[in-house]
Amino acid sequence: DAGITQSPRHKVTETGTPVTLRCHQTENHRYMYWYRQDPGHGLRLIHYSYGVKDTDKGEVSDGYSVSRSKTEDFLLTLESATSSQTSVYFCAISESGGLRETQYFGPGTRLLVL
């Protein structure tokens, strides 16, 4: 298994509070991704990073920000959580970002916003 960990694995929070999810990899892969998974929607890309301090938006980036200060860590922040952000969040990594490169997924973080 690819060395990807996500923390926390489960979180319950209240509407309006900030939340930060962490993805940590030990593979030294350049590309990292944040997806959310919702019933009936599959996985949707929130943000991705193609290097330290280099990030870009995905298809559902509103309400989310990201940061990558080290190769191994990619943080996803919900500045002010809303109930619509209740979801399962997956981090993924790939070596170069080219689609010939497999994306490896972390175990996921379940977030419940009350």
Partner 1 sequence: AQSVTQPDIHITVSEGASLELRCNYSYGATPYLFWYVQSPGQGLQLLLKYFSGDTLVQGIKGFEAEFKRSQSSFNLRKPSVHWSDAAEYFCAAGGSNYKLTFGKGTLLTVNP
Min CB(109)–partner 1 separation in Å: 11
DSSP 4-53: EEEE-SEEEE-TT--EEEEEEESS--SEEEEEEEETTTEEEEEEEEEETT
Residue 105 as a binder of partner 1 (CB under 8 A): the answer is: yes
Residues 47 to 86: which contact partner 1 by CB under 8 A? 48, 50, 58
Residues 23 to 42: which contact partner 1 by CB under 8 A? 31, 40-42
Q: Measured from the CB atom, is 85 or 103 closer to partner 1? A: 103
Write the binding mask 2 to 21 for partner 1: x where contact by CB under 8 A, - elsewhere.
--x-----------------
Query: Among residues 30, 20, 33, 101, which one has the least CA distance to residue 64?
Result: 20
27: how many CB neighbours lie within 10 A of its CB?
A: 14
Q: How far apart are CA 90 and CA 41, in angstroms?
A: 14
Contacts with partner 1, residue ranges (CB under 8 A): 4, 31, 40-45, 48, 50, 58, 90, 92, 97-100, 102-108
